[in-house]
Amino acid sequence: MSVEAYHNYGKVYLVGAGPGDPELITVKGARILSEADTIVYDRLANPELLSMTSEKSEHIYVGKRPDKPSVSQEQINHILVTKAGEGKTIARLKGGDPFVFGRGGEECEVLRSKEIPYEVVPGISSSLAAPAYAGIPVTHRKVARSFTVVTGHTIKNTETFTNWEHLVHSDTLVVLMGTRSLPQITEKLIKHGKDPQTPVGIVEKASYSSQRTTLGTLGTIVDEATDISSPGTIVIGELAAKSHELAWFQTEDAKETTVSNSRLRTQFVG
């Protein structure tokens, strides 16, 4: 279809779904979901968000799975362009924030090249939400006055990072999509001068009831997190240790413990 065919195009909204808990989507994001004709959604966008959509809306799943057959980015771009060419209002629903390692920039470039109108609706990035749900501040006036966010997943056959010397000096280093590269990440940081005793926290499935936080140090975390799963957020820096005292989110395990203890107290009182 030629560019000229898009005179009656619709509009594409790139909507950040947040880290997992459906209540963390923005008010604007929820409104767009309710109004959109077509929802094109990722694996990391909580499926519960689809309950906010119109009963007449079309839902297209385009989630990517590591090392498994998935919809390519080129196919996703084609879907967005085609549906917009049909005059549809499209909500491109992404986990976290569209512009934080969400390929939102690439999709905007394609839409702009086709002269298709689009709008970006920011979402809460897991780089902020995951540490928060684990009780880990990424900044603190007395400990860390800056933080760095990087991705542990890069274009195939390329180095994970190229600026290790810079990353070593980050007050708080947040690594997204880095659970599979954890041994390489810790090894490189230590090799470039990061103290092996630096606290590390790994937050899995942040804001879900199944959230789990594993704490350790740069030198021990690989051995302590042998069964970590994706999605996971790695936090490296002195503030990671704050999770011991500031963790507030009640996970499934915590709830089971609370119920069990409550029953014990009830039996004792009775």
Question: For residue 202, is pLDDT > 60?
Answer: yes
Q: What total number of domains does the chain contain?
A: 2
End-of-domain residue from the set 71, 94, 124: 124
**Could you tell me the pTM of the whole model?**
0.86
Q: Which of 130-139, 159-168, 190-199 has the lowest mean pLDDT?
A: 159-168
CATH number for the domain including 231?
3.30.950.10
CA–CA separation, 87 and 84 (whole Å): 5
CA–CA separation, 111 and 151 (whole Å): 25
Q: Is residue 134 located within the same domain as residue 120?
A: no
CA–CA separation, 82 and 103 (whole Å): 19
End-to-end CA distance of the chain: 75
- Residue 89: inside a domain: yes
Q: Return the active site residues.
A: 42, 64, 177
- Residue 13: inside a domain: yes
- Residue 8: inside a domain: yes
- Domain housing 66: 3-124
Q: Is residue 14 located within the same domain as residue 101?
A: yes
End-of-domain residue from the set 101, 124, 147: 124
Angle at 140 between CA 136 and CA 144, to 5 degrees: 95
Q: Is residue 241 located within the same domain as residue 142?
A: yes
Q: Is residue 172 located within the same domain as residue 116?
A: no
115-144 per-position pLDDT tens digit: 999 999 999 999 999 999 999 999 999 999
- Residue 27: inside a domain: yes
- Residue 32: inside a domain: yes
Percent of the chain's residues with pLDDT above 90: 77
65-76 per-position pLDDT tens digit: 666 678 999 999
Q: Is residue 55 located within the same domain as residue 10?
A: yes
CA–CA separation, 9 and 153 (whole Å): 34
Look at residues 188, 184, 187, 182 and name the one whose alpha carbon lies nearest to residue 201. Answer: 182
- Residue 260: inside a domain: no
- Residue 153: inside a domain: yes
Q: Is residue 132 located within the same domain as residue 241?
A: yes
Confidence of residue 55 (pLDDT cuts 50, 70, 90): very high
Q: Is residue 238 located within the same domain as residue 164?
A: yes
- Residue 220: inside a domain: yes
Q: Is residue 209 located within the same domain as residue 198?
A: yes
